[in-house]
């Protein structure tokens, strides 16, 4: 039985987030430059997006470029940006065919005009699609997002537009304001870190780590993570007994 067949369609996570890690090491293992790994990482992006669309998820967020990634050699940053432009250009027909809607989170204003132009074209073209929401985290970090939220709150409070801050109000100031929190986070590449990704939103997220390097990640690897998620008990601070009582009251 494949992992795809093992998925319980009635218990799908609404939102899966992915830290795509291991491109550089994959390339090095093959005696190649890091950018060779990024180029092959595009295949894994395609597989993951298709797997998410096939399994009927509502949201898939991919950590494509962090605010810290600017510190990499300029040649690598430039290569990542042009890979993004060419992938967006090349994959738009597939997004349309599968009714996938593209959006971004992150400080995209700081990206080049070329990248912004291609992004906007794809965002506009896919805006009315009703299937999977594909969210690219670009020039994103959790701390950047929270500081920006705090600044916006400060400005609104100064204008008297805001009386009280609650969790719900704070979440409205985040880049993810229209999205559910991820229920599952997948990180490839064998590191056990969050790396400044969705710090607020991951509060109750199930974490799944695999040593598979990103360019080797395929649909079945994604389905395997979903099956693993479905076997977990999510307690949200409650006890197992409380959850059982709640579930049996729902089934009556």
Interface with ligand FPP by CB under 6 A: which residues?
20-25, 34, 38, 41-42, 45, 62, 64, 69, 80, 83-84, 87, 136, 189, 214
Active site residue 69: yes
Q: Which of 23, 32, 69, 78 is catalytic?
A: 69
Q: Which is nearer to ligand FPP, 38 or 101 (CB)?
A: 38
CB of 162 to ligand FPP, least distance (A): 35
Q: Which is nearer to ligand FPP, 80 or 186 (CB)?
A: 80
Q: In the complex, what is the shortest distance from the CB of residue 42 to ligand FPP, in angstroms, rounded to a whole number? A: 5
Residue 87's nearest CA partner among 24, 134, 129 is 134
Rounded to a whole number of angstroms, the minimum distance from the CB of residue 181 to ligand FPP is 21
Helices and strands (H, E) in the chain, number of each type: 9, 6
**Rounded CA separation 182/168 (Å):** 16
Closer Cβ to ligand FPP, 25 or 148, answer by number: 25
CB of 138 or CB of 225, closer to ligand FPP: 138
- The sign of the dihedral angle between the CA atoms of 186, 27, 191, 69 is negative
By three-state DSSP, how is residue 20 classified?
Answer: coil
Q: Is the dihedral of CA 102, 234, 212, 2 positive or negative?
A: negative
Active site residue 21: yes
CA 215 – CA 27 distance, rounded (Å): 9
Q: Least distance in Å: CB of 69 to ligand FPP?
A: 6
In the complex, least distance from residue 44 CB atom to ligand FPP, rounded to whole angstroms: 7
How far apart, in whole angstroms, are the C-alpha atoms of residue 110 and residue 66? 12
Number of C-beta neighbours around residue 214 at 10 A: 26
**Which is nearest to 225 in space by CA: 1, 7, 5?**
7
Given the complex with ligand FPP, which of 84 and 132 has the nearer CB atom? 84
The strand pairing partners of 98, in sequence order, are none
Active site residues: 21, 69
């Amino acid at each position: 039985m494949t992992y795809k067949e093992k998925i319980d369609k009635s218990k799908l996570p609404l939102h899966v987030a992915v830290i795509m890690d291991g491109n550089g090491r994959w390339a090095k293992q093959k005696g190649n430059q890091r950018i060779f790994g990024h180029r092959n990482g595009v295949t894994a992006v395609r597989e993951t997006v298709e797997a998410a669309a096939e399994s009927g998820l509502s949201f898939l967020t991919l950590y494509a470029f962090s605010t810290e990634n600017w510190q990499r050699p300029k040649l690598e940053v430039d290569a990542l940006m042009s890979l993004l432009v060419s992938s967006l250009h090349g994959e738009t027909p597939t997004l349309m065919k599968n009714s996938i809607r593209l959006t971004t989170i992150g400080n995209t204003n700081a990206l080049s005009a070329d990248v912004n132009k291609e992004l906007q074209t794809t965002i506009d073209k896919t805006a009315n699609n009703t299937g999977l929401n594909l969210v690219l985290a670009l020039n994103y970090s959790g701390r950047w997002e929270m500081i920006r939220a705090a600044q916006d709150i400060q400005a609104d409070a100064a204008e008297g537009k805001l009386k009280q801050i609650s969790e719900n109000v704070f979440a409205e100031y985040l880049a993810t304001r229209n999205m559910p929190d991820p229920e599952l986070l997948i990180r490839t590449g064998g590191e056990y870190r969050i790396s400044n990704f969705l710090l607020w939103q991951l509060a109750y997220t199930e974490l799944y780590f695999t040593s598979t390097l990103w360019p080797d990640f395929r649909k079945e690897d994604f389905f395997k993570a979903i099956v693993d998620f479905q076997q977990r008990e999510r307690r949200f601070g409650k006890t197992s007994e409380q959850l059982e009582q709640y579930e049996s009251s729902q089934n009556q």
